[in-house]
Amino acid sequence: MEQKIIGILFLLSVNTTLIAQNHFTVEVSRLVADKGYVYFGLFDKKSAFLNEDAAFANAKVKATGTKVSYTFKNLPVGDYAVAVYQDENNNERCDKNMIGYPTEGFGFSNNYKPKFSAPKFDDVKINIKNSTKTNISLIGN
């Protein structure tokens, strides 16, 4: 009986480990070459989308060349949305004009191109399982 319990616990621990082995690589192109950093926000909830303080995960990568990538590791299976921007002047924010439109390069998963407002979570969500990769081409550069 004790061996059965140990066997079941082992299988559960292996299964839990496999669940968390989902990686999401985001490649960002159309950067202004070698200027500033690219900020990545990963969101897993509609209610948190585009609220940087409520992101599931954040990352910052130095802009080298015209393309960078970042991999979010060990994610639970589910829907995620990504928002990125290039902070060309290193002031740690996405600069905007008088009407609130970004003046530095930005983008969203699914290469969503906003027309009159920011996208909704459902417009840009991607289902993550196993290893998933997406490409985002910056807007405004």
CATH number at residue 93: 2.60.40
The residue-averaged pLDDT of 83-89 equals: 96
Is pLDDT of 100 > 50? Answer: yes
Asked whether residue 93 carries a pLDDT value surpassing 60, the answer given is yes
Q: What is the mean pLDDT of residues 78-92?
A: 96
The pLDDT > 70 percentage for the chain reads: 86
Evaluate whether 63 touches 33 at the Cβ level (below 8 Å).
yes
Determine, yes or no, domain membership for 38: yes
pLDDT higher than 60, residue 40: yes
More confident residue, 19 or 100: 100
Instruction: Specify the DSSP class assigned to residue 23.
Output: E
Question: Is residue 13 included in any domain, yes or no?
Answer: no
Tell me what the pLDDT averaged over the chain comes to: 88
Domain that holds residue 38: 22-137
What's the rounded mean pLDDT across residues 90-109?
93
Share of the chain above pLDDT 90, in %: 76
**Number of domains observed in the structure of the chain:** 1
Write down the pTM of the prediction.
0.83
* Residue 11 pLDDT greater than 90, yes or no: no
Is 17 a member of any domain? no
Strand extents, DSSP E, the chain:
22-29, 37-43, 57-62, 67-75, 78-87, 106-108, 126-128, 131-137
